[in-house]
Structure formats: C-alpha cells, structure tokens
C-alpha cells in the first residue's frame, strides 16, 4: 500500500512523476486524472456507468498529509459510478479499473475539490492524491427484488426520460445464454411493450433511460418471459435473459399537469380498456401499469358537478378494485389489501372490495380478519353464496388453528411438568443426602460429647 514516503512533496514534481509513470485516464487527455497502477486487477470486465462499486481509498495532499481513509474506519465505501455521486476524478478513475486493482490517482483541482477546496482539510485549488482499491462491482438494480439489473455501456444525452405512454424507438438484441434470439429496430408505447413481444423488464427500464443510451438489462424470469417461456424465440420456462437496448429516440406522453380534466377522463377510458385486455390475457403486471396510470391522473381531481365527480370516483374505485384482483392473481396479498382499503375508504360497504380483502387476508392466514370481511359482505348482500362458502373455510381454519395451539401448549406444559418433576427429584435426593450427612455429623458430636461427660 502507499506510504508517505512514496509521495512527492510538491505539486510540480508530483505531476512530473505521475506523468512519467502513469496514464492520463481523462477523455480529453488534459492530465486532469493520471493513474499509476500499483497492483493489477483480475483480467476481464471493468465497471460500467451506473454500476454499484465498492472501494477502499486513502486521500492525501501532494505533501503527503492524509486527510481521509476508509481503511481507518474499517468500512469500504459504496457508490454508483459515473452518476456524479462522488468526485469527478473518482468516476473517471474507477471506470478505468479492474476488480482487485490497486492504483494511485493524481487529481487536478477541477477534477477534485475545485477552487474552494474543503474547509480544514483541502486548501483552495489543490491537487490531491487518492490510492484506490476496487473491491467489487455489480450492475444497478432497477427493482427492489433485483429482477432487473442494468449496466450502461454508453451514457445517454440530456436529463429527460420516457414516461408511461411515451412512444420509443429502440434497437434490441436479446440473448439467452450465448444464443441471440431477438435482433431488431422497433417502436412501442411504454407500458404496452407486450404488444410487440418485448419483455416486461425492457418496458420497465425505459423510464430510467436517456436518449442515446445503450445498456445491458439482465432480466430474471418474472421480468422476462416467465414460467411460460417464449416458444417463438425458443425460450423455455423460467429462463434468465439479457437484452442490449439502445434508446434511439422517444416522444414523451403528456404528464398529468399538462392535461385538463376532460382529457384525463377521455384517456382514462382508453387506458382502462387496455388494462382489461391485458387482464383477460393473463398479463397481470401489464394490467397493473394501466390501472395505476388512471389513479395517478384522477386521485386528486374534483369534478365541476355531481355527474363529473361521480365519473371520477367510478374510475378510481374500478381501478383500485381491478388492481386488487391483479395482485390476488400475482399472490401479492399485501398490495391487494391496500387497494381494497382505498375503495373501502370511499365506499365502506363495497361488496367487491370487502370480498377481495377477505380473500387476501385468508391467503395471509389472517383468518379472523378474513371472517369479519366475509360476514360484512353478507350484511351488504345476504345472497352472496361465495362469501358463505368462505366463512365456512375461515371457521374451519380458525378451529384447526386453535386445535394446533392447544396441542402446542399441552406439549409445552407437559415438558414444563416433566422438567419440574425431574428438578424436584434431584432436589429431594440432594436434601436427603444433606440430611443423612447432617445426622452422621450429629451422631458423631453426641458420641464425643458423651465421652467428655464420662
């Protein structure tokens, strides 16, 4: 590792030394970041823009004075490289490294702390030296479950991204293992990629991309072609796939604030029909996208009259009910309950919301809550035979649960009793032993006392 003796003592000599031994890793070759490799990394892949990297670092002035060190904190530092989350020199330097590499970076002020420096640590307009070790890196997870991982090969332009409803023009290359199964230029509407046989994961990544970006998307089956596979591409069930996606151009859809209420209601009718089509086809994730768009447009709107307000509420209620049904099919029961709750807040006796919430709670083993929901359904509609059947199931489950608890507690108490009995026997034996010993000692004392008296 770097020692103070390794470092030059002034800016001019440090630049000369690094220029002689190192390489300029800046794009425009202005010697803003010069790298000297101390320990080569593992041959192969390098980080891409957006990757989550883990590093150890030591920061020093060119005089050798240390101002920061992750090793002293005994904790490596993580960040998304190339995203402007750290010093510009770090983004440039780390993107040039391999896993396991250790290097030293000489960084000009404009690539580090600038003209201002850092109070109490970095003087104004100072070059600094960082020793960096790249421990590991991995793609950027775009979903909480890690089902879509992105690695950016070419950074896009500007600061705008496609939104749901945007028309995008892309180039796609899909691979399963080493086999290329999809290669084409195609246009599609974000949220409706299914219509062009494009997997959900590609669709959901669109709102993170910028014009001109080229990225790799690593898709788990949930975001690929699922348990069904894709026979037309000769993709079997539950296969991981990789798509290389280049966003050539896009036309954003109107945001909510750009539409008046009449336009929102008109578009909601079209989107609702699209969601229903996806639901009937069993494409529940795609249906969810459509219903959520309606809610995002209308949930804070107020009509100018009773008719318009009723129309808004009908769309919101129907969308939440449909979302609950989708989430039941997807076995995402917490979200099903949440959407039913939204309906019940607006209509406390909504039969469908109560029934679907009961179904979700039953699947979460919340038998008493589910029973209460189904009983309330009967209060709303005593002819609901499905609710009666569910009540019987809930009662059976509750009884079964109570019997199981009784057995569990009975076994528990039996074990406690056996342990207490065993402890009692041990104590009695110990007491008997003590008493015997005491009697023996007492007899000995009595005998000696008698001898003394005699």
pLDDT at 404: 79
Please tell me the distance from the alpha carbon of residue 329 to that of residue 280, in angstroms, as a whole number: 12
Q: Which residues contact 206 (CB under 8 A, 6 or more apart)?
A: 161, 162, 166, 168, 190, 247, 250
Among 289, 348, 358, which residue's Cα sits nearest to residue 317?
Answer: 348
CB atoms inside a 10 Å sphere around CB 316:
20
pTM, 2 dp: 0.79
**What's the pLDDT score for residue 444?**
53
Q: 227: Cβ–Cβ under 8 A, 6 or more apart, which residues?
A: 221, 237, 238
- CB neighbours (10 Å) of residue 51? 24
User: What is the CA 182 to chain-centroid distance, rounded?
Assistant: 28
What is the distance between the alpha carbons of residues 30 and 37, in angstroms, rounded to a whole number? Answer: 19
At 453 the pLDDT is 36
**pLDDT score recorded for residue 441:** 54
Q: Which of 5, 94, 28 is nearest to 57 (CA)?
A: 94
Q: How high is the pLDDT of residue 431?
A: 60
Length of the chain: 454
Q: Flag residues of the chain having pLDDT under 50.
A: 1-9, 435, 438, 442, 445-446, 448-454
Q: What is the pLDDT of residue 308?
A: 93
The pLDDT, as a whole number, for residue 450 is: 44
Q: Which of 235, 241, 84, 85 is nearest to 149 (CA)?
A: 241
| 11-138 belongs to CATH 3.10.50.40 | yes
What the block records as the tokens of 86 is 């750290």
Structure tokens given for 231: 């026979």
Count the Cβ atoms, other than its own, within 10 Å of residue 440: 10
Contacts of 442 (CB under 8 A, 6+ apart): none
**Which CATH code for domain 148-251?**
3.10.50.40
CATH T-level topology, domain 256-396? 1.25.40
Q: Are 111 and 89 contacting, i.e. CB atoms less than 8 angstroms apart?
A: yes
Whether 11-138 shares its CATH topology with 148-251 is answered: yes
Distance CA 35, CA 103 (A): 7
User: Which pLDDT belongs to residue 1?
Assistant: 37
| Domain spans, the chain | 11-138, 148-251, 256-396
């Amino acid at each position: 590792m770097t020692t103070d003796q390794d470092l030059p003592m002034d800016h001019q000599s440090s630049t000369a030394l690094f220029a002689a031994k190192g390489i300029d890793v800046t794009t425009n070759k202005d010697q803003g970041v010069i790298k000297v490799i101390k320990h080569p990394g593992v041959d192969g892949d390098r980080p891409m823009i957006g990757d989550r990297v883990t590093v150890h670092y030591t920061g020093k002035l060119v005089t050798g004075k240390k101002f920061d060190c992750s090793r002293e904190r005994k904790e490596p530092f993580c960040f998304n490289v190339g995203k402007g989350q750290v010093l510009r020199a770090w983004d440039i330097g780390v993107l040039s490294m391999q896993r396991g590499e250790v290097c030293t970076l000489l960084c000009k002020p404009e690539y580090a702390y600038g003209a201002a420096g850092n109070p109490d640590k970095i003087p104004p307009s100072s070059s600094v030296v960082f020793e960096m070790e790249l421990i590991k890196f991995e793609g950027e997870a775009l979903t909480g479950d890690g089902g879509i991982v992105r690695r950016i090969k070419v950074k896009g332009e500007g600061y705008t991204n496609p939104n749901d409803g945007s028309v995008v023009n892309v180039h796609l290359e899909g691979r399963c293992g080493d086999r290329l199964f999809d290669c084409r230029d195609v246009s599609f509407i974000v949220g409706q990629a299914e219509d062009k046989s494009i997997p959900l994961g590609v669709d959901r990544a669109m709102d993170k991309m910028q014009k001109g970006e080229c990225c790799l998307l690593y898709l788990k089956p949930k975001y690929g072609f699922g348990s069904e596979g894709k026979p037309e591409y000769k993709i079997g069930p539950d296969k991981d796939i990789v798509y290389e996606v280049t966003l050539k151009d896009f036309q954003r859809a109107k945001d909510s604030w750009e539409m008046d209420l009449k336009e929102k209601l008109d578009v909601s009718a079209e989107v609702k029909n699209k969601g229903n089509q996806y639901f009937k086809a069993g494409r529940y994730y795609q249906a969810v996208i459509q219903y959520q768009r309606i809610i995002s447009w209308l949930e804070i709107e107020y009509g100018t009259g009773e008719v318009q307000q009723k129309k808004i509420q009908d769309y919101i209620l129907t969308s939440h009910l449909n979302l609950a049904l989708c989430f039941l099919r997807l076995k995402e029961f917490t979200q099903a309950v949440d959407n039913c709750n939204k309906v019940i807040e607006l209509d406390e006796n909504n039969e469908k919301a109560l029934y679907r919430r009961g179904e979700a709670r039953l699947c979460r083993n919340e038998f008493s809550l589910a029973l209460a929901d189904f009983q309330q359904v009967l209060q709303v509609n005593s002819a609901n035979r499905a609710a009666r059947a569910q009540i019987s199931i809930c009662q059976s489950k509750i009884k079964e649960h109570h019997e199981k608890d009784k057995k569990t507690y009975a076994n528990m108490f039996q074990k406690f009793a056996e342990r207490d009995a065993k402890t009692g026997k041990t104590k009695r034996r110990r007491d008997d032993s003590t008493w015997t010993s005491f009697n023996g000692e007492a007899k000995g004392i009595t005998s000696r006392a008698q001898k003394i008296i005699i």
